[in-house]
Structure 1
Amino acid sequence: MIPVLAYVVMALSGVMVVWGLVTALVDKPPGRAQLLYAAGVEVVTVAQTVIGFVGLGQGFRPVELATTIGYLIGVVVLIPVAWFWANVERTRFSGVVLAVAGLAVAVMTLRLLQLWIPAG
């Protein structure tokens, strides 16, 4: 994991949270720009996850290996599920779904930073 990239993921996810909540408050479904932004956040999240798995493949062992692998997989799944949901259900609550996914990605990325400590 690259800490600076993890902070970028958390910041971008934070914007996703705020944007999703604002969309819900103004009673509109997410627009194309918001969905494209979520896809962009996913791209950065996937990059960080790939870097994490490369580190594990090169022999890095965090204190909690199984938990770290679970978070690396889970953090990549959240945004596509929320994105699909927001596209299928075009209501104001789709913004809330995107906001919840953004919050979960931010928290999981923070937890990954905490887990990314070498064992021993």
Structure 2
Amino acid sequence: MIAGLAWTVSALALVAMCWGLLTAVLDKPPGKAQLLYAAGLELVVVVQSVIALVRLGTGFRPVELATTIGYLVGIVVLVPVAWFWANSERTRFSGVVLAIAAAAVAAMTFRLLVLWVPR
């Protein structure tokens, strides 16, 4: 895992979280810009996970291999599920769904940074 990329993912996720909460507080559904931002976040998350999985495939072993693989796979699923939910149910709570997914992405990325220590 590239630490700079992981910090970028975390920062982007925290911005998405704040944006989702702001739209909920303003009682508005997520707009196209917010949904595009979430899609961009997903793209960066996928790049991070692919790089990490390639490193695992080439022999790198973190402290907890199974947990790391679970986080790498799980983190890729969160944003698309929230995105489809927010796009299909256009209410203020869709912003909350995006915010929760983004917060989970940030938390999982921070955890991956902790796990990404060689044995």
On whether the aligned pair clears a TM of 0.5, the verdict is yes
User: Normalization by structure 2: what TM-score?
Assistant: 0.99
Is 2:79 the counterpart of 1:79? yes
Amino acid at match of 2:81: V
Cα-to-partner distance string for 1:56-98 (whole Å, 9 max, x where unaligned) = 0000001100000000000000000000000111100000000
- 3-state SS of paired residue (1:114): helix
* Percent of pairs with identical residues: 71
Looking at structure 2, the residues matched to 85 and 50 of structure 1 have their Cα atoms a distance apart, in angstroms, of: 25
Can you give the 5+ residue segments of structure 1 that lack an aligned partner in the other structure?
Answer: none
Q: Give the length in aligned residue pairs.
A: 119
Over 3 Å off, 4+ runs = none
Looking at structure 2, the residues matched to 62 and 93 of structure 1 have their Cα atoms a distance apart, in angstroms, of: 37
1:4 is matched with 4
Looking at structure 1, the residues matched to 66 and 58 of structure 2 have their Cα atoms a distance apart, in angstroms, of: 16
Looking at structure 2, the residues matched to 82 and 28 of structure 1 have their Cα atoms a distance apart, in angstroms, of: 16
Superposed, 1:33-112 pairs within 5 Å as 33-112=33-112
Amino acid at match of 2:87: N
Can you give the 5+ residue segments of structure 2 that lack an aligned partner in the other structure?
Answer: none
- 3-state SS of paired residue (2:63): coil
Looking at structure 1, the residues matched to 63 and 28 of structure 2 have their Cα atoms a distance apart, in angstroms, of: 44
User: Normalization by structure 1: what TM-score?
Assistant: 0.98
Cα-to-partner distance string for 1:30-74 (whole Å, 9 max, x where unaligned) = 000000000000000000000000000000001100000000000
Amino acid at match of 1:77: V
Report the aligned-residue RMSD: 0.3
Looking at structure 1, the residues matched to 3 and 48 of structure 2 have their Cα atoms a distance apart, in angstroms, of: 9
- 3-state SS of paired residue (2:29): coil
